[in-house]
Structure 1
Amino acid sequence: MASTSAEIVAFLLTISGWVLVSSTLPTDYWKVSSIDGTVITTATFWANLWKTCVTDSTGVSNCKDFPSMLALDGYIQACRGLMISAVCLGFFGSVFGLIGMKCTKIGGSDQTKAKIACLAGLIFILSGLCSMTGCSLYANRITSEFFDPSYIAQKYELGAALFIGWAGASLCIIGGSIFCFSIAENSKSSRRGYAYNGATSVMSSRTKVHSSVPDKTPPKHFDKNAYV
């Protein structure tokens, strides 16, 4: 019962993390910068993995898509590949996790379901690592440009999408680890139960053998003075 509850908690954590990681791809604010006036913000510059935009004080946004994928900076291409890989791995991990859980009716025997659930945990851990690496790489580029005194172009700060990606990656890693640990506990408990049943069966068989062998010890005869 405890392992089933752990699997349900792990599945909910991993699904939540996968949804958060998936939501970072269309999120606008991967990096953001603003130009403040005397009273209001006159313009806000922001960018993500697909385009760069500017929003004026009236709320009108003008965006420009990245012209060519081959002409992009290397860190943006790497972040795109890592985040898309994280989303794809999370999808397959959710499918395997649903099949491998004990509370579902598909997946075959308990041993097969345990292997599938362990595989799902490893896939979710890998998905979380991909998302964590992609967000950290993007954040490292922003911070290095921001604190570089020789960088004279527009400087940006960390956007909301990075924090969402880090949170989703953490949930995927934690949920995948719970999946793996719950399977390890199940295997240990099954081995202990098998050893205990074997011992009882051996003892019961020995008892039956001893009880089935007739007692050939001759009866002792005592005379009337035996208890004197």
Structure 2
Amino acid sequence: MRRSLIQVFGFLISTFGWLFVSCTLAMDYWRVFYVGGKGGNWMIKGIWYWSNLWKDCVTDTSSVTNCREYDVLWAVTPYVQGVRGLLMISMSLGLVAAVLCFIGMDCTYIGGSEKTKNRILLSGAAFHFVGGVSSLAAYCLYTNKVVSAAFSPTVDRSIIRYGLGTPIFLGFVGCFFIILGSVLYAVTIIPIRILTSSARTTGDPPSYAQRTRSKTLYTSAYYAPSRQSRLHSQSSSSRISRLSQATVEKMSARDTFV
């Protein structure tokens, strides 16, 4: 029962993690920079420069947004291409992992025997872990580029120094949930495999033929008469035969006398 609860909790945690990661792909404000001040009559004027994986935009205080979408794949900044690729790979692995873990869980009645379900669940946990690490690498790559451009002393001051937006932090939380879910899956499988391998190392229990042979040997050794007992029985039988022969001779002598 406890094992099933841990697996269900791992399924929910990993599902929420992939939901967070998938939402960040469609969210805006991956990086954002605000420029503002006061105009005439204390009117506040400001402009937000922000970007995501698909476009660069500018929004003013009148909520008018002007965007420039990335034209073609090979015209995009290389690190943005890398982030896209890592996230796409991780989401593909997450889809496969979710299916495998659903089949391998104890509370589902598909997947075959218990040993087969354990293997499927362990494979799904491995896919979850690799996918979570891939997503984490994507967010770390994007964060490194933004932070290095913002704090590097060699970068020109005229270049916009962006800050990190909400999707980055949401993505980090999703990666943590995914990796935690894979660990919860593995916790329910690895101890069983360790016990099985240790049992194989120490030796398997004897087979039916071995038990039968040992029992036969034990029985024959236990019930078989020893050499001393055989000699005693032989001497007893010879003594009895001599006594019986003497008795017959006495009786024949008596009959002759009569």
Q: Taking structure 1 as the reference length, what is the TM-score of the superposition?
A: 0.83
**Closer/same/farther in 2, CA of residues 2 and 189 from structure 1, 3 Å limit:** farther
CA contact (8 A) 1:50 1:66 kept: yes
CA distance in 2, matches of 1:180, 1:84: 24
Which of 172, 187, 197 is matched with 2:178 structurally? Answer: 172
Question: What are the superposed Cα offsets for residues 50-93 of structure 1, whole Å, 9 maximum, x if unpaired?
Answer: 01111110112111101221011110000000011111111111
CA contact (8 A) 1:3 1:186 kept: no
Identical aligned residues as a percent: 31
Residues 1:73 and 2:77 are matched in the alignment: yes
Write out aligned runs for 1:1-228 (5 A): 1-38=1-38, 40=44, 42-149=46-153, 150-151=155-156, 152-188=158-194, 198=205
5+ unaligned residues in a row in structure 1: which ranges? 219-228
**Closer/same/farther in 2, CA of residues 3 and 209 from structure 1, 3 Å limit:** farther
CA distance in 2, matches of 1:98, 1:208: 50
Q: CA deviation at 1:186?
A: 2.6
CA distance in 2, matches of 1:156, 1:89: 31
CA contact (8 A) 1:34 1:41 kept: no
**Closer/same/farther in 2, CA of residues 188 and 56 from structure 1, 3 Å limit:** same
CA distance in 2, matches of 1:142, 1:5: 41
Secondary structure of the 1:37 match is strand
Q: CA deviation at 1:42?
A: 1.2
In our comparison, the structure showing a higher alpha carbon Rg is 2
**Closer/same/farther in 2, CA of residues 78 and 129 from structure 1, 3 Å limit:** same
Question: What are the superposed Cα offsets for residues 136-190 of structure 1, whole Å, 9 maximum, x if unpaired?
Answer: 1011111111112333311100011111111111111111122122101233456
5+ unaligned residues in a row in structure 2: which ranges? 230-258
Tell me the amino acid that sits aligned with residue 117 of structure 1: L
Secondary structure of the 1:44 match is strand
CA contact (8 A) 1:32 1:46 kept: yes
Q: Taking structure 2 as the reference length, what is the TM-score of the superposition?
A: 0.74
CA distance in 1, matches of 2:45, 2:215: 89
Which is richer in helix? Answer: 2
